[in-house]
Structure 1
């Protein structure tokens, strides 16, 4: 049985997903790359369904720290772990959707500009770890 997620829980899912894309984008920065990466990530997020689609397409965008990659990770990785806990408890059928959408968005973001750099690969590995799933 699916339990309805609170606005706060929905925001946690959104923070994790959008934050993961931000982490990958920051791993190998560039202005033109940022535009391509954002577009690529939005395509992956459009593939979401159920509770995950509702979480990613509603409410405000998360405000993430901009000072350092470490600060971003200190917000995003716990949000991803919490999102997994929330979905496991309240909407287990949407858990694989969330994992695949976040990893696909991270992967597409990395590939959008000159392929996946070593720095981006490391970030994707940390994201996958937070999702409780090995990177592809």
Structure 2
């Protein structure tokens, strides 16, 4: 059973997903690295299906605070956990879809430039924990 999400819930899901990509992209220094990583992740988010695709690909882009990485992390990680809780309550069939879209997006972002560095691996682990996905031990740090 899928229950309609309200605007605030949709915003939470979208902010969390895009924020997760930002956290991983920000872990690799440089504007061009961040741009290329964000582009790599966008395909995964757009490739979601069903309700998750609708939420992630329609409406305005979320606004993340212009703050330190720690402050963005303090906003994004709880939002990821809250997003999964919202879907479990209102659209349980979409939980796996959301988790897969977010994890695929952050993994693609991390691998887009020179493989996964230690800071990116740390960000990946935090994102995966927040969405309730066991971290992949095969992710190698460079």
Report the TM-score when normalising by structure 2: 0.92
The DSSP-based 3-state class of the residue aligned with 2:35 is: helix
Corresponding residue for residue 36 of structure 1 = 36
Deviation of 1:7 after TM superposition, in Å, equals: 1.1
* Superposition RMSD in Å: 0.9
Distance in structure 2 (CA, Å) of the matches to 1:2 and 1:63: 27
Corresponding residue for residue 66 of structure 1 = 66
Unpaired segments of 5 or more residues in structure 2?
137-142
Distance in structure 1 (CA, Å) of the matches to 2:34 and 2:129: 24
8 Å CA contact retained: 2:28, 2:34: no
Deviation of 1:66 after TM superposition, in Å, equals: 2.5
Corresponding residue for residue 48 of structure 2 = 48
8 Å CA contact retained: 1:11, 1:59: no
Unpaired segments of 5 or more residues in structure 1?
none
The DSSP-based 3-state class of the residue aligned with 1:64 is: coil
Corresponding residue for residue 77 of structure 1 = 77
8 Å CA contact retained: 1:16, 1:77: yes
Corresponding residue for residue 129 of structure 1 = 129
Report the TM-score when normalising by structure 1: 0.96
Moved over 2 A (4+): none
* Count of aligned pairs between the two proteins: 136
Describe the superposition over 1:48-107 as per-residue Cα deviations: whole angstroms up to 9, x where unpaired.
011100110122211112221110011101110110010000111110010011001000
Distance in structure 1 (CA, Å) of the matches to 2:66 and 2:87: 28
